[in-house]
Amino acid sequence: MHDPIPVNTPLLSGKEKEYLIECIDTGWISSEGPFVKKFEAQFSSYVDRKYGIAVANGSGALDCAIAALNLDEGSEVIMPTFTIISCALSILRNDLIPVLVDSDPYTWNMDVDQIEAKITPKTKAIMAVHIYGLPVDMDPILALAQKYNLKIIEDAAQAIGQTYKGKPCGSLGDISCFSFYPNKHITTGEGGMIVTNNDKLAERSQSFRNLCFKPEKRFEHEEMGWNYRMTNLQAALGLAQLEKIDEHIEKKYQLGKAYNKLLNNCPHIQLPCKKTNYAENIYWVYGLVLKETTKISAKECIKKLGDSKIGTRPFFWNLHEQPVFKKQGLFIKETYPNAEHIARNGFYLPSGLALTEDELKIVSLNIHKAIN
């Protein structure tokens, strides 16, 4: 029997230890340390943005970014139902209203053709969330934003290193957000980043991440912010990871291609969309959706793989089906059939950067056994 294969193991093969030791030796471990500004500058440059604002996590990035837009209370923000709950929580915490759209059944991203029908006089923004390593089709969203004078919040947490028609993901919104959780293409353990080209949005984001301290009178506050500062230790880790980003992207891409080859002849599963006319999948994670012909449920398949010491994760549970939102009277009687099918029948396989070729083959063999 093989050793356990976790769903994710990060790859720490660069200067992480060297930079962390420097933090300890110099005593700069808080958010005041020099690695924070270095990481902000180099990451924002990597995604072709003028400003980078490092924060404690990706959810904090969303909170601060949306607050920075200063949208009127009760404004509507159009977003996908198939995404992590953080996206909706940040909208609600800023006293805004999330308005949902269904998924495209092939890319698993939001169906951009459904957005315009959801626009009302209260609509002030669109949140585009790139899902599982393949970006949203952004041109139609950019056109709608121009037509209706809407802001674009781009959640590129799952698309570090991805491009849309040659432009870096994270460079396409008025304000864009990233996460550096351990399963991302680069990690700081926990951490996130806001990027923008807008001076005012950058200034407001910096303020919101730091309790809205005023430079001229530190402990007098005119707005309510958060303590979402990134530490020098986290930034040191992120900087070392960023130096290896091209290697990480290539490794993920090769993992995806290997899975495609080994699972291509399994008729009961939908593999990830390989490419569209605007991007090629870089397989942030490697997801599967079981087809209706499959005699086993996703839950049963996950259990079988778990019994074989193979880690998996179910897909996101749709926002319109979240119990916490139903209790608040949100999304009552709303249905989104494509997203419901994906959420009920989807899960992703071990696809961390430290996954070995032998482990990948073991996972693929067990998928065939479980499903067939």
CATH number of the domain within which 155 lies = 3.40.640.10
- Among 227, 242, 257, residue at a domain's last position: 242
Residues belonging to the chain:
372
**Domain identity same for 258 and 226:** no
Q: Give me the pLDDT at residue 217, please.
A: 82
Helix locations, the chain, DSSP H: 16-26, 34-46, 58-69, 86-93, 138-148, 199-208, 232-242, 245-263, 298-307, 323-327, 337-345, 357-371
Q: Considering the domain boundaries, does residue 10 fall inside one?
A: no
Phi, psi (degrees; rounded to nearest 5) at 362: -65, -45
Residues 20 and 99 in one domain: yes
pLDDT at 285: 97
Whether 16 and 230 have beta carbons less than 8 Å apart is answered as no
Q: Supply the range of the domain harboring residue 78.
A: 16-242
Indicate whether 7 belongs to any domain.
no
Extract the tokens encoding 212. Answer: 């809205």
Query: Would you put residue 182 in left (φ > 0), alpha (ψ -120 to 50) or beta?
Result: alpha
- Identify whether 156 is part of a domain: yes
pLDDT number for residue 246: 97
Question: The domain that contains 353 carries what CATH number?
Answer: 3.90.1150.10
What integer pLDDT is reported at residue 275 of this predicted model? 96
Q: How would you label 252-267 residue by residue, b for 16+ Cβ within 10 Å and e otherwise?
A: bbebbebbeebbeebe
Q: How far is CA 94 from CA 69, 82, 160, 223, 300, in A?
A: 10, 20, 26, 12, 39
Q: What's the distance, Cα to Cα, between the start and end of the chain in Å?
A: 21
pLDDT score recorded for residue 338: 98
Q: pLDDT tens string for the chain (372 positions)?
A: 789 999 999 999 999 999 999 999 999 999 999 999 999 999 999 999 999 999 999 999 999 999 999 999 999 999 999 999 999 999 999 999 999 999 999 999 999 999 999 999 999 999 999 999 999 999 999 999 999 999 999 999 999 999 999 999 999 999 999 999 999 999 999 999 999 999 999 999 999 999 999 887 889 888 899 999 999 999 999 999 999 999 999 999 999 999 999 999 998 999 999 999 999 999 999 999 999 989 899 999 999 999 999 999 999 999 999 999 999 999 999 999 999 999 999 999 999 999 999 999 999 999 999 988
**227 assigned to some structural domain:** yes
User: What domain count does the chain have?
Assistant: 2
Q: What is the pLDDT of residue 239?
A: 98
Together in a domain, 289 and 228: no
Contact predicate 319/325, CB 8 Å: yes
Q: What is the SS3 assignment for 334-353?
A: CCCHHHHHHHHHEEEECCCC
pTM score of the predicted model = 0.96
Collapsing DSSP to helix, strand or coil, 234 comes out as helix
Domain match, 31 and 121 both: yes
